[in-house]
Structures are given as structure tokens and as C-alpha cells.
Amino acid sequence: MVGLLLLCVALAVLPLLAILGTLVVKGASSINLAFFTQLPKPPGEAGGGVVHAIVGTLLMVGTAALIGMPVGIAAGILTAEWQGSRLAIVTRFIADVLNGTPSIVVGVFAWTWIVATQKHFSGFAGSAALAVLMIPMVLRTTEEMVKLVPNSLREAALALGFPRWRTTLLVVVRSGLPGIVTGSLLAVARIAGETAPLLFTALGSQYLNVNLNRPMAALPLVVFTYGLGPYEDWHRLAWATSLVLILVVLVLSIAARFATRRRFDAPR
């Protein structure tokens, strides 16, 4: 029985190790200073980098987080603090449906509403699609974290004469903050790797571009286009980019772990 369990554990852990191993073997050799500072070279020339995609991903994911986090956190607090209200029940249901919506569908939606009406692809359309994906994730984790705060703390604050909003912000949200930050960072990590919604919105680009109103490159898009391309050099860049993407997710997850550490150590 224990052997079976250990086998299952190994099967669960193996893919991550295999992925990391493959990426390091195939991609690590292409990662150098040029990879982070240069644009891709024309086909046939060796070297070059993906600085345009790094900048694009940072800008688009950053903008998506700026939209998605406040909206998700605020909505999460609402659904948790007014648990039984019809508004909370409907919001929760919609968030669950949205959470299960395939990301490519969100991409098509953003294409219809933003790209098609503006008549051009843009980084902002990509951000909007990513924000839509992020909101339900942030909402649900925020809600769970706020619900974990014991009701006795709420009562204590109310009995001290705190107004309700102050109770919510200073006691309830502050007690649940580490979890909310963790959830938000994990949501950022999730959307940083999304490819499908960006295909319809940001499109990708060969150039360094910081204008969100124009087509923009992104790390997952580089993996997609270069990985499918016919050139060996492109493949190497795609492997290296995959490795960087995984590392970004890893770093964000570790940062999330640190954020969970409380200001004070837990009671002994």
C-alpha cells in the first residue's frame, strides 16, 4: 500500500522534473546576456534574443494585474462579507463559470469587442483578455481567505465601535492579506503563461514596442511561433524562452510563499 502511494507521488512529481530537465538541457545553452537584451536575428543568423517579448509580457501582464487584482479582490471581499446575499451568490456562480471558460474563448471575446472594433491588434486587448481570466481566480481566493478570518474578530472590532467598512478593511482583510497576496501572485503566474488569448489580441511582433495600443510580443507567443518555425536557431530560442517562462512562474510561486509569512510568527 505504501509502495503504491509512493509510486503515485513519483508519478505526480515526475512531469515537473522531466519538464524542467528537458528545458534546461535544450534551452539553458541559449540563455546569455544577448537573450535578454537583443531582438531576434533574421533567419539563418545565430544568436539574438527576445527582449521584445520580455518587455511585452511584463507590460501586458502588469496592466492585466492592475485591472484584475483590484476588481477581483474587491469582488471577493464583497462575496465573502455578504455571503448569503443574492448578489454574492450570483457573483460567485459567474466567477465559477468564468474560471472554467477556456482561455481561447476569452481571447475570441476580446477580439470581438476590442480588436474588431478598433480594427487593429493591440497589447491592451491582450491585457484585457488576461484580466478577464485573472478576475475569477483572484475573486475566489480572496473570498476563501476572507471567510477563513474568524467571526469573533469581526465581532470584537464591531464591539469596539469600528464602523463596518473599517472592520472589513482593518481587521478582516488585513488578517487575510497574506493569503490574498498569494492568490493574486499565483493568478499572475497563471496568466503570464497564457498563449491562446494573446493570439487573437496582442498578435505578436518582431520589434521592441512599449506602446500598448500596438501589436505586442509576449514570451508564450515566441514559444508558439518560433517553436513551429522551420529554423534550428528559432527552435533554440523557443526552448530558452520556455525555460524563462517556467522560471518566471517558479519565482512568482516562491514570492507567493514569502508573502504568506506573517508579520509576526504564528503562535507557538
Partner 1 sequence: MPPAEAPPRVRTRNVTAWYGKNAAVRDVSLDFSPNQVHALIGPSGCGKTTFLRCLNRMHEEIPGAHADGLVLLDGEDIYARQVDLRRLRRRVGMVFQKPTVFPTMSIFDNVAAGLRSNGRLDRRTLTSRVERALQVAALWDEVKDRLRGSATALSGGQQQRLCIARTVAPEPEVVLLDEPTASLDPQGTQRIEELLFQLKQRFTIIIVTHNMQQAARVSDTTSFFYLGELIETGPTRRMFTAPEQEKTEAYITGRFG
Binding site for partner 1 (CB under 8 A): 84, 152-153, 155-163, 166, 170-171, 174-175, 177, 262-268
Nearer to partner 1, 90 or 170 (CB): 170
In whole angstroms, the minimum distance from the beta carbon of 184 to partner 1 comes to 18
Nearer to partner 1, 171 or 198 (CB): 171
Residue 50 DSSP class:
-
Could you tell me the three cell numbers for 226? 518560433
Question: Position of cell 508519478?
Answer: 11
> Nearest CA to 25 among 234, 241, 264, 243?
243
Interatomic CA distance for residues 49 and 37, integer angstroms: 6
In whole angstroms, the minimum distance from the beta carbon of 173 to partner 1 comes to 10
Cα→Cα distances 205→3, 59, 214, Å: 51, 14, 9
Nearer to partner 1, 117 or 151 (CB): 151
N residues, the chain: 268
Nearer to partner 1, 100 or 265 (CB): 265
Nearer to partner 1, 43 or 150 (CB): 150
In whole angstroms, the minimum distance from the beta carbon of 268 to partner 1 comes to 7
Q: What share of the chain is helix, strand, coil (3-state, %, to 5)?
A: 75, 0, 25
In whole angstroms, the minimum distance from the beta carbon of 177 to partner 1 comes to 7
Could you tell me the three cell numbers for 134? 485573472
In whole angstroms, the minimum distance from the beta carbon of 169 to partner 1 comes to 11
Give the rounded distance of the alpha carbon of 223 from its chain centre: 17
Four-point Cα dihedral 238, 244, 245, 248, nearest 10: -170
In whole angstroms, the minimum distance from the beta carbon of 227 to partner 1 comes to 46
Nearer to partner 1, 71 or 153 (CB): 153
Residue 82 DSSP class:
T
> Nearest CA to 187 among 88, 253, 96?
253
